[in-house]
Chain A
Amino acid sequence: MSNSESDIARRAARLYYDENKTQDEIGEMLDITRWKVGRLLALAREVGIVSISITDSATPSERSSSGIIPTDRSRAQGVTDTQSLRSFLRRLPAVDAIGLEARAATLATRSIKTESKRAALDTIIRLVDLTTLEGADTPGKVKSLVAKALVPDASDPTTPRVAAVCVYPDMVAHAVAALGPNRGDGESGIAVASVATAFPSGRSTIDVKLADTRFAVDKGATEIDMVIDRGAFLSGDLETVFNQIVLVREACVRADGSHAHLKVILETGELRTYDNIKRASWLAILAGADFIKTSTGKVQPAATLPTTVLMLEVVRDWFHLTGERIGVKPAGGIRQSKDAIRYLVAVAEVAGEEWLTPHLFRFGASSLLNDVLLQRQKMTTGRYSGPDYVTVD
């Protein structure tokens, strides 16, 4: 630890503990990021600049019991406390459910010509998060999943690779080992996504959720799929939902300052109304989501086209408001190429074609890939293919 770093850590600690400034305020005063402030404070405790003696441990759950923790994004929108978050979400225009479903139905009728279909199938493969989230997952199964991600169709070397593999936190290390040098960010190589935060129900304490997240990040996950606390959201406790996303995002920060991409799962099937889905989408973005994701895949209904169209509209509106692009990931229930192509149409027409990259759109799927490969083989050979010609997952 250099002298200058210990000096700045000392100043940060004084501001934080003696003058009760927030990390954000300190960040602004010292012209560093809030995450950097957090790390400096941790460092200050570690090397003994600060020694704290407490009788009750100050847990993140206590930290979140006193209003929301504002983020840079939320502050820019004037959302600094629970009240302003509440009124921000309430001011959002209500969703026209009939109009939304009609729009989704229209998008589903677009005719795709044969030459475009080939491109669409390849695009789908590039956007797939190849997923295995079973209680029966084994290191061997993760290894074969990775093998499939690298070479989806051994009979056709022109088949593109998928964007990511998605596994439970304890399987991240196996996925990372199997990928080796092929790990990347979804475009440069295959990303390793891990669900975390007591997936799929999210029913655990924030401390457990944060530990879950840190574990996955430590093991090499480049993307974290967290679930929101649906119970809290439905009972109106927006504060808890918001703060948990903020805290998990902090937990995604690695030692070198970079951070794992955060996908926030809304579990739209449990939110009941389109209005709720819209509010949850805005809330997740304000709290720092890099991606908003429809579902865990464990609850029915999972991803639907109207829900995805609605979420695409939210990210489009956010882009118009701030110039920042947020990703969308429908997951669960998309099993056929025909359905997936409809989602591509929705992305292109609602958000824009620039969203059709692995950084901004993903399919969370397991059986979809095989169907896409069968269609691809049909287009190559001119005859219908069958499950004997793709891997058994």
Chain B
Amino acid sequence: MSRLPVAKTYKLFIGGAFPRSESGRVYDVATPTGEFIANASKASRKDARDAVVAARAAVAKWSGATANNRGQVLYRIAEMLEGRTAQFIDEIQKSTGASAKDASAEVHAAIDLLVWYAGWTDKYAQVVGGANPVAGPFFNLSVPEPTGVVAVVAPQTGPTSLLGLVATVAPALVTGNTVVVIASESSPCAAMSFAEVVATSDVPGGVVNILTGSPTEMTPWLASHQDINAIDLTGADSELALACERDAAETLKRVVRPGQFSATLGSIDRIGAFVETKTVWHTKSLS
């Protein structure tokens, strides 16, 4: 008996839920040879706005969690991803045309990267923070703190529909930031399946928000948004990145430029792009 295949409509991931775009728009996702794979939601600026509200609401809980707990949760994402390796390999192959070997390598690299960043959660403060030497009976301590809500334009090209997303999102999560990320427009399937992984990995709702659609349409709204603390423009083309950096300056956002960090490798400096250093003085004793 023949059967009609059920084509998936990928939704957005906002505040721990999977809503359609408020605009009602969808777009076709196709293989490099033009064959239809699935429908994906085309997010609007209002979806981006809603995602920022969700991300802002999640900052207190995520940044207030212990570093150990954040590490456990990031490791949990890696675990869940491992269990669904086959699905991701299939999705990456279909949407990017990668070979089975390359797709498999990409998924494994993404999992390893998550484990690597998970390990940094309770060690990062030791590396970049510490006691400063002062000439007086005081402790002078510097500690890195999360900056808040981070907007990310994930890499749009190359074999990076999953790895590029993980490489840009994970470092922001390490110190307790929450993220609104615009996934790869042309191959969003792996990104939205990653959302399903995140949703089942004890990540509090709103900590990771994933939008699919046009970065050219949404990024300027995020760059000028007054309730975002940092923007990672890794996946933006140079013209868009320049305009967005100019807008971001209006509200003193931290900006990561395209090419500033590798789109696939882990980097401790990338964690540092989304922290603020707090320095406190404290008397050595009360006597």
Using a CB-CB cutoff of 8 Å, which residues 240-287 of chain B contact chain A?
A: 247, 250
Using a CB-CB cutoff of 8 Å, which residues 5-33 of chain B contact chain A?
A: none
Cα distance, A130 to B224, chains bound together (Å): 30
Nearest chain A CB to B204 CB, angstrom units: 19
B227 beta carbon closer than 8 Å to chain A: yes
B56 beta carbon closer than 8 Å to chain A: yes
Cα distance, A385 to B227, chains bound together (Å): 6
Using a CB-CB cutoff of 8 Å, which residues 39-77 of chain B contact chain A?
A: 49, 52, 56
Chain A contacts for B49, CB-based, 8 A: 384
A386's partner among B221, B225, B247, B250 (CB-CB below 8 A) is B225
Contact, CB under 8 Å: B224 / A386: no
Cα distance, A385 to B56, chains bound together (Å): 12
Using a CB-CB cutoff of 8 Å, which residues 348-393 of chain A contact chain B?
A: 382-389
Using a CB-CB cutoff of 8 Å, which residues 171-227 of chain B contact chain A?
A: 221, 224-227
Nearest chain A residue, comparing its CB with the CB of B149: A386
Nearest chain A CB to B77 CB, angstrom units: 28
Contact, CB under 8 Å: B227 / A387: yes
Contact, CB under 8 Å: A384 / B56: no
Cα distance, A383 to B247, chains bound together (Å): 10
Contact, CB under 8 Å: B227 / A388: yes
Contact, CB under 8 Å: A383 / B225: yes
A385's partner among B221, B226, B247, B250 (CB-CB below 8 A) is B226
Nearest chain A CB to B259 CB, angstrom units: 26
Chain B contacts for A382, CB-based, 8 A: 224
How many contacts between A and B, using CB within 8 angstroms?
27
Cα distance, A176 to B227, chains bound together (Å): 35
Main secondary structure of the interface of B (DSSP, over half): helix
Nearest chain A CB to B250 CB, angstrom units: 8
Cα distance, A389 to B221, chains bound together (Å): 17
Contact string, A303-335, partner B, CB cutoff 8 A, digits 1/0? 000000000000000000000000000000000
Nearest chain A CB to B10 CB, angstrom units: 25
Chain B contacts for A385, CB-based, 8 A: 226-227
Cα distance, A383 to B56, chains bound together (Å): 17
Q: How large is the interface on A (under 10, 10 to 19, 20 to 34, 35 or more residues)?
A: under 10
Nearest chain A residue, comparing its CB with the CB of B57: A387
Cα distance, A385 to B247, chains bound together (Å): 14
Cα distance, A382 to B220, chains bound together (Å): 11
Using a CB-CB cutoff of 8 Å, which residues 136-195 of chain B contact chain A?
A: none
Nearest chain B CB to A126 CB, angstrom units: 25
Contact, CB under 8 Å: A383 / B224: yes
Cα distance, A174 to B89, chains bound together (Å): 67
B224's partner among A384, A388, A389 (CB-CB below 8 A) is A384
Nearest chain B residue, comparing its CB with the CB of A387: B227
Chain A contacts for B226, CB-based, 8 A: 383-386, 388-389
Chain B contacts for A387, CB-based, 8 A: 56, 227
Cα distance, A384 to B49, chains bound together (Å): 8
Cα distance, A214 to B33, chains bound together (Å): 80
Cα distance, A386 to B221, chains bound together (Å): 13
Chain A contacts for B221, CB-based, 8 A: 383-384
Nearest chain B CB to A152 CB, angstrom units: 18
Chain A contacts for B228, CB-based, 8 A: 386
Nearest chain A CB to B170 CB, angstrom units: 25
Nearest chain A CB to B224 CB, angstrom units: 4
Cα distance, A385 to B52, chains bound together (Å): 11
Cα distance, A385 to B228, chains bound together (Å): 9
Nearest chain A CB to B53 CB, angstrom units: 9
Chain A contacts for B52, CB-based, 8 A: 384, 386
Cα distance, A237 to B103, chains bound together (Å): 74
Cα distance, A384 to B56, chains bound together (Å): 13
Nearest chain A residue, comparing its CB with the CB of B227: A386
Cα distance, A389 to B250, chains bound together (Å): 14
Chain B contacts for A388, CB-based, 8 A: 226-227
Chain A contacts for B227, CB-based, 8 A: 384-388
Chain A contacts for B56, CB-based, 8 A: 386-387
Nearest chain B residue, comparing its CB with the CB of A377: B226
Chain B contacts for A386, CB-based, 8 A: 52, 56, 225-228
Chain B contacts for A389, CB-based, 8 A: 226
Nearest chain B residue, comparing its CB with the CB of A384: B225
Nearest chain A CB to B246 CB, angstrom units: 13
Cα distance, A208 to B247, chains bound together (Å): 59
Nearest chain B residue, comparing its CB with the CB of A386: B227
Cα distance, A386 to B52, chains bound together (Å): 9
Cα distance, A382 to B224, chains bound together (Å): 9
Cα distance, A385 to B226, chains bound together (Å): 5
Most chain A beta-carbon neighbours within 10 Å: one of B226, B228, B247: B226
Most chain B beta-carbon neighbours within 10 Å: one of A384, A385, A389: A384
Cα distance, A383 to B45, chains bound together (Å): 11
Nearest chain A CB to B56 CB, angstrom units: 7
Nearest chain A residue, comparing its CB with the CB of B45: A384
Nearest chain A CB to B54 CB, angstrom units: 13
Cα distance, A383 to B244, chains bound together (Å): 13
Most chain B beta-carbon neighbours within 10 Å: one of A382, A383, A385: A383
Nearest chain A CB to B33 CB, angstrom units: 39
Cα distance, A385 to B225, chains bound together (Å): 6
Most chain B beta-carbon neighbours within 10 Å: one of A385, A386, A388: A386
Nearest chain B CB to A159 CB, angstrom units: 17
Nearest chain A CB to B220 CB, angstrom units: 9
Contact string, B63-104, partner A, CB cutoff 8 A, digits 1/0? 000000000000000000000000000000000000000000
Beyond the given A386-B52, A388-B227, please list 7 additional residue pairs across the A-B interface where CB-CB is below 8 A. Answer: A383-B224, A383-B250, A384-B49, A384-B52, A387-B56, A388-B226, A389-B226
Cross-chain pairs A/B with CB under 8 angstroms, 6 sampled: A382-B224, A383-B221, A383-B247, A384-B227, A385-B227, A386-B56
Q: 9 closest pairs, A vs B, by CB? A: A386-B227, A383-B224, A384-B225, A386-B226, A385-B226, A384-B49, A389-B226, A384-B226, A383-B226
